[in-house]
Amino acid sequence: MTVRSPVVIAAVAGLALWLGTSFLTGKREPWDASAYWTVAYPAALLLSAYLGHAYPERPWRWVLVLFESQFVAMCLRNGELGSLWPLGMAMFAVIALPGVLAAYVASRFKRRPDRKAP
């Protein structure tokens, strides 16, 4: 049996993007490296669009899981939650906004079963 839950896909991808970029760049927080903004962040936006297309019902949820799981990965990598964790979660929510837009746009291209092809 194959499990294709959008929550699991988004969470695992978010963890992998953050931890992988951290490992490859040697940075404690990958967003301090250009590789995050040129590779990992665009990959997250593409994945947001994919999830929005594949799971079009309220696609913003998958995007928030994708980006907030990066916050979880940051806490795991750093070994602490820190006193500014609400600000960190808010920051990830803000950088998720382009992903939310991408997911919504992609969800509109999903062919609905009630629509007939021209």
pLDDT of residue 8: 95
Q: What gap in Å lies between CA 15 and CA 13, rounded to an integer?
A: 5
Place of tokens 């896909």: 9
pLDDT of residue 19: 95
- Delimit the domains of the chain by residue range: 6-108
pLDDT of residue 81: 80
User: Nearest to residue 65, comparing CAs of 19, 12, 3?
Assistant: 12
Dihedral over alpha carbons 46, 50, 55, 61 (to 10 degrees):
-10
1 pLDDT tier (thresholds 50, 70, 90): very low
Asked if residue 37 lies in contact with residue 31, where contact means CB atoms within 8 angstroms, the answer is yes
pLDDT of residue 111: 61
pLDDT of residue 115: 56
pLDDT of residue 2: 47
Average pLDDT of the chain to the nearest whole number: 89
62 has pLDDT over 50? yes
- pTM as predicted: 0.85
